[in-house]
Amino acid sequence: MKKNKETKFIFITGGVTSSLGKGIVGASLGVILKSKGLKVTLQKFDPYLNVDPGTMNPYQHGEVFVTEDGCETDLDLGHYERFIDENLSRINNITSGMIYSEVLAKERRGDYLGNTVQIIPHVTNEIKNHIVAATKQNDFDVIITEIGGTIGDIESLPFLEAIRQFQFENKENCIHIHLTLVPYLNSSGEFKTKPTQHSVKELRAIGIQTDVIVCRSSKIFPQEIKQKIALFCDVKTDDVIMCPDAKSIYEVPIYLKNEAIDTVVLQKLGLSQSNSNLVEWENYINIIYQKNKPEVNIGLVGKYTALSDSYLSVTEALKHAAAANKCDCKITWINSETLHQSDGSKKLDECDSILIPGGFGDRGITGKLIAAQYARETNIPYLGLCLGMHIAAIEFARNILNLEDAHSTEFNPNCNDPIIDFLPNQKQLSEMGGTMRLGAYPCVIEQNSKLFSIYKQKEISERHRHRYEFNNAYKALFEDNGIKFSGNSPDGKLVEVIELTDHPWFIACQFHPEFKSRPYKAHPLFFDFIKQTLKLTSS
C-alpha cells in the first residue's frame, strides 16, 4: 500500500453564498480524474453538530442518503456515488458532531493525559485523522474533500484550520479549490467579481491560499472577467474555471473538462497527464436532450413535496430510468396531506403511474392510502419504497381483506390488526438516531415472480433504512388473496418485496433501490417501472 504522503488531497470550499454546488463540482472532478485511470474517492465534512443527518427534517437538509455499511449521510454522498460509480462508507461523511463526540470520549478515557482539551490541537488533529482515514482502507490516488458551509461561518472554522495545517504539512500533495459566485447584474449589464475577491480575502485571513477558483455564474462570462479574478486573487488566468448554469447536473463534468480543470489540477499535484474518456457521460447527455421523445407522467406522492431534495435519490433514479428507456419523465408532485377521498382521483387521473417513497410519521398517511388504492384499482403501475410498501399492505388489508382497523403500529400502536409492526430487536430502543435497520442486506427472490424477471437473479443486495416490518402473522391471509411475497430475507423471517399477482405492475419493497441507481446504469426496478409505464401509455 502507498504511504499516506503519496496520496494527493484536494480540498473544496465555498464562498459568497450557500448551495453553489460544491458537491457537484467535487463529484464532477472525481469523474474526470477517474476517467484518466486514477483511483478517486470523495469526502464530505459537515460543520453541523448533529452526529449525522438521520434525525433531521428533510425540509432543513434534504434527503438522508444511506451507504452500504449503514451510515446515514448528507445527500452529497449520493451525488458522489452516482457520479464516480463507487460505493462509499461512513469514513466519507464526517460532521462536527462526530468529531466532538470522539474528542470528548477520548477526554473521558484520559487519552489526553490530563491536558486541557482545546479546539487546537485536539479537535483539528481529530479532523486531520479523518482526512487520511480513507487511505488506510484503500490505495487511493486522489481524495477530494468538500468542506460544508460557506467561508465566514463560525461552525466551519475548525475544519478550515485543520485543512490549513494539513496543507502546510503536506505542501507537495495538496491543493485548494474555492467555489464562488460571479453574479450578473441585469440593471448594469455587468458581471461582478467583488464577491469572489472578498471570499478569497477571507480565506487568506485564516492562512489559506486558493490554488484554483471555480466560478458559478448564470451564463458564460468573457475572458476579461477571468483575468480580473486572477489578478486580484493571485492565481493564473488558467486557474480560474468558469462553471455556468447547466440544464442538467450531469453536464457539469463536460463543462469542467472543456475548461481544462483536469490539466490544471494534475499539473499542480504533480501527476502525469493522460487522456480521459467521458463517452458514457456524453451519450447520457445526448439522450436526455434528445427531442420528440415519448413522455411518462409519474405521480410522486409524499409529504415533503415542497422541496424536491427531500426525495433526491428517487427523482434521480426516475431520470436515469427514463433515459435508459429513451423517454422523458415528468414528475407530478402530490402532497399526500392534501389528497382526499372526495377529490383524490382528480389529482391522480393525470398520472400514468404512482410512486410512494419512504418516510416517517403519520402525517399524510391517509392521502398515501388513497393513492395506493387508486393505482391498484385502475391497474396503473405502482412502486412503493419502504413506507410505500407499508402503505400498499395496509390498503390491501383494509379494502380486500376487510380488516378495517389494519394499520402500522408506527401510526396506531393499539390497532386491532398490526399489519406492520416493530422489528423484533427494535421494541426496547429508546434512542432514535442510528438505531434502525440500516445499510445493505441480502434478499432472496422467488423465481416465479415479476421481481425475478426484473432482477434476473436469485439473490440481490439492497440498502435499508427502517425499523418497522410486515407482520408475518398475516402472511398466509395475504397470500390466499393475491399477494406474492416475492422477496424475503435469506432466513425467511423478513418480508422484503410484495407484488400483486393480478395487476400489470404493482411492486412494493422494504428497501431503498434509489440509492444504487447511476446515470447510465439505471436501477433494474426503476427501469422496469418506467418501461411498463411507457408501455401502458403507448397502448
pTM: 0.92
Q: List pLDDT tens digits, range 242-283.
A: 999 999 999 999 999 999 999 999 999 999 888 888 998 999
Report the pLDDT value the prediction gives residue 526, as an integer from 0 to 100: 98
The torsion angles phi and psi of 48, rounded to 5 degrees, stand at -70, 155
**pLDDT at residue 362 is higher than 90:** no
Sign of the Cα pseudo-torsion (331, 337, 338, 339, in order): positive
Residue written as grid cell 416490518: 469
Rounded distance between C-alpha atoms, residue 196 and residue 379, angstroms: 55
pLDDT band at 147 (very low <50, low <70, confident <90, very high): very high
pLDDT of residue 293: 93
Q: What is the pLDDT of residue 309?
A: 80
> Which residues have a Cβ under 8 Å from the Cβ of 211 and sit 6 or more positions away?
175, 176, 177, 235, 239, 268
pLDDT of residue 1: 30
**Per-residue pLDDT tens for 490-501?**
999 999 999 999
Model confidence at 175, in pLDDT bands (50, 70, 90)?
very high
| CA distance linking residue 368 with residue 339, whole number of Å | 8
- Which of 53-57, 126-130, 435-439, 528-532 is least confident? 53-57
pLDDT, residue 422, reads 81
Gap between the Cα atoms of 516 and 526, Å rounded: 11
Model pLDDT, residue 432: 44
Q: Find how far residue 272's CA is from the centre of its chain.
A: 32
DSSP secondary structure string, 282-310?
A: HHHHHHHT-SS--EEEEEEEES-TT-GGG
| Residue 406, C-alpha cell as written in the block | 389494519
Residue 431 clears pLDDT 50, i.e. is over it = no
Please, what is the angle between helix 96-109 and helix 124-131, to 10°?
Answer: 120
Catalytic positions are 386, 512, 514
Cell of 506: 404493482
**Average pLDDT score, the chain:** 91
Which DSSP state fits 409? T
Q: What are 23's three cell numbers?
A: 458537491
Contacts of 237 (CB under 8 A, 6+ apart): 223, 226, 227, 230
Burial (Cβ within 10 Å: 0-12, 13-18, ≥19) of residue 156 = buried
If you average pLDDT over residues 71-89, what whole number do you get? 93
Cα-atom radius of gyration of the chain, to the nearest Å?
25
Q: Is 101 exposed, middle or buried (0-12, 13-18, 19+ CB in 10 A)?
A: middle
Q: For residues 426 and 306, which has the higher predicted lDDT (pLDDT)?
A: 306
Burial class of residue 412 in the structure, from the number of CB atoms within 10 Å of its CB (0-12 exposed, 13-18 middle, 19+ buried): middle
Q: What is the DSSP string of 140-203?
A: -SEEEEEEPS-TT-STTHHHHHHHHHHHHHTGGGEEEEEEEE--EETTTTEE--HHHHHHHHHH
Checking if the pLDDT of 97 tops 70, the result is yes
The Cα–Cα gap between 525 and 131 comes to: 36
Cell of residue 39, nine digits = 483511483
At 49, the pLDDT band (50, 70, 90 cuts) reads confident
pLDDT of residue 341: 74
For residue range 210-227, list pLDDT tens digits in order. Answer: 999 999 999 999 999 999
Q: Determine contact, residues 51/98, Cβ cutoff 8 Å.
A: yes
468: enclosing H helix or E strand: strand 468-470
Averaged pLDDT for residues 276-293: 91
Q: Compute the average pLDDT of residues 442-466.
A: 95
95-99 average pLDDT score? 93
pLDDT of residue 3: 42
The set of cell numbers assigned to 301 is 406522492
Higher pLDDT, 127 or 56: 127
Question: What pLDDT, on a 0 to 100 scale, did the predictor assign at position 423?
Answer: 63
What pLDDT was estimated at residue 424? 58
User: Alpha carbon of 301 to those of 60, 275, 333, 365, 371: distances in Å?
Assistant: 20, 45, 6, 10, 7
pLDDT of residue 17: 85
pLDDT higher than 70, residue 306: no
- Strand blocks (E) in 51-108: 65-66, 72-73, 93-95
Whether the per-residue pLDDT at 60 is higher than 60: the answer is yes
Q: What is the pLDDT of residue 4?
A: 46
CA distances from 287 to 142, 254, 281, 283, 537 (A): 31, 15, 10, 6, 20
Structure confidence by residue, pLDDT tens digits, 177-214? 999 999 999 988 899 999 999 999 999 999 999 999 99
